[in-house]
Amino acid sequence: MISYRSLPKERASFARRFASKVFRHLPFWVTGVLLAAAFGSMIGNGLGGLPAWAEILLDILSNFSAVFLGIFIEAAPFLLLGTLASGVVEEFISRDDITRLIPRQPLLGALAGSLVGLFFPVCECGVVPFSRRLIHKGAPVSVGVAVLLAAPVLNPIVIASTLAAFGPGWIFWARLGLTLLIATSVGFLFALHSQPEAMLRFPPETSARVSQPVVDMTALGPKPVLLDRVRRALVIAVDEFFEMGRFLITGALLAATMQTFVPQTALLGIGQGPLLSVLAMVLLAVLLSICSTVDAFIALAFTGTFTGGSILAFLVFGPMVDIKSTLMFLRVFKPRTVAYLILLPLMLVLVAAVFLNYFGQGWLY
């Protein structure tokens, strides 16, 4: 095996750069391969006389490609929307603006962060780069955490889709209220940390240098006009889209693998237990990893099979934590912090959903 040390210095440097580029763009190549495989499997299914093993393999490949592309195509536009919002924040909102707009009191700051999604509608994919940019611009880590957990639900698009699916009933109001309560509570708990910067994967100043694209400031002049600022915001958005897109693709691959090889009938068989139904729907939300803009219509299909508390758990926990968003969390926070970001909302959702299953039968449904 040839090592870098055995190569001349120039060749070793080129090999390292080439390997870095391959790793950086590998997920996008995988997407192209799966897209070609999906069309190939469609063509193969139309041919007759294939061996039995080939038909089984084509069916598995077709299902896997369909699930993966469904998750990716559904989430990619919202990731782009989030990175555009990130570029706008970086270029048009200063640190002084962040300091002035966000309350200094920890609880009020977490509450303000939970309501940011009403003005910047991003789903669980786009909220990660957006929240990271807010932290880099001077927002407290607790506010960024509240934005991460609340914005995928508390935004106009998801509110409208939930209202269209369930109407102005208790599930609609419980989803909004429980999401606001959990996001504010978890954000407030993070505000109690003595060294919040220690929870980040990179310190704000280091991370800003890592993620910031290189822009020739001298070519823009000392006082950039609006068009130049828009151009820089778009450069930042494209850079972060490709950076976060790798983790979106990896998460979609894992979710597609689980959906293809893990039978969902085992989950559907325990839909009426007050505790097991909640655990099943939480696991299903993580397994499906669907976008929060359409998950209300998926949950609507389970209303006759699962308890009301479990439906609510699906609608609240799914947008907060799923496979693809967890991988993107790791780009912003340290692994231990990501574990808290998963476990704290999970425990609060379980308590609320099980309580509703036990004590809400008479006055809710």
SS (H, E, C) 42-102: HHHHCCCCCCHHHHHHHHHHHHHHHHHHHHHHHHHHHHHHHHHHHHHHHHHCCHHHHHHHC
Contact 120, 85 (CB under 8 A): yes
| CA distance linking residue 265 with residue 270, whole number of Å | 9
Domain ranges of the chain: 75-256, 265-359
pLDDT value of position 211: 45
Distance CA 5, CA 291 (A): 46
Question: How high is the pLDDT of residue 313?
Answer: 95
Look at residue 333 and give its three-state secondary structure.
strand
Question: How far apart, in whole angstroms, are the C-alpha atoms of residue 281 and residue 266?
Answer: 12
CB 315 within 8 A of CB 175: yes
103-107: long-range contacts (C-beta < 8 A, 24 or more apart)? 106/140, 106/142, 106/188, 106/191, 106/192, 107/184, 107/188, 107/191
The model's pTM is: 0.70
Give me the pLDDT at residue 352, please.
Answer: 95
- Which pLDDT value is given to residue 184? 96
Residue 292 CA, chain-centre distance (Å), reads 9
333: which strand partners? 200
Determine how many CB atoms are found less than 10 A away from the CB of residue 269: 11
CA 66 to CA 30: how far, in whole Å? 14
Cβ count near 175 (within 10 Å): 24
What string of pLDDT tens digits covers the 365 residues of the chain? 444 444 444 444 544 554 454 445 555 555 555 555 555 555 555 555 567 776 777 777 877 888 788 777 777 777 787 778 778 877 887 777 777 888 889 999 999 999 988 887 777 778 888 888 888 888 899 999 999 999 999 988 889 888 988 889 899 999 999 999 999 999 999 999 888 888 888 766 544 444 444 444 444 445 567 888 888 888 888 887 887 777 778 767 777 776 677 666 666 666 667 888 899 889 888 887 877 877 888 888 777 778 889 999 999 999 999 888 898 899 899 999 999 999 999 999 999 999 998 887 655 55
CA–CA–CA angle 274, 276, 279 (5° rounding): 115
Amino acid 224 reads P
* pLDDT attached to residue 229: 84
Q: Which two tokens stand for residue 224?
A: 């950039």
Q: Is 189 exposed, middle or buried (0-12, 13-18, 19+ CB in 10 A)?
A: middle
327 touches 251 (CB < 8 A):
yes
Cα Rg, the chain, nearest whole Å: 22
pLDDT of residue 35: 58
**pLDDT at res. 267:** 60
φ, ψ of residue 104 in degrees (nearest 5): -80, -30
**pLDDT of 108:** 93
pLDDT of residue 364: 59
* CA distance readout (Å), 7 to 22, 74, 274, 283: 19, 44, 63, 49
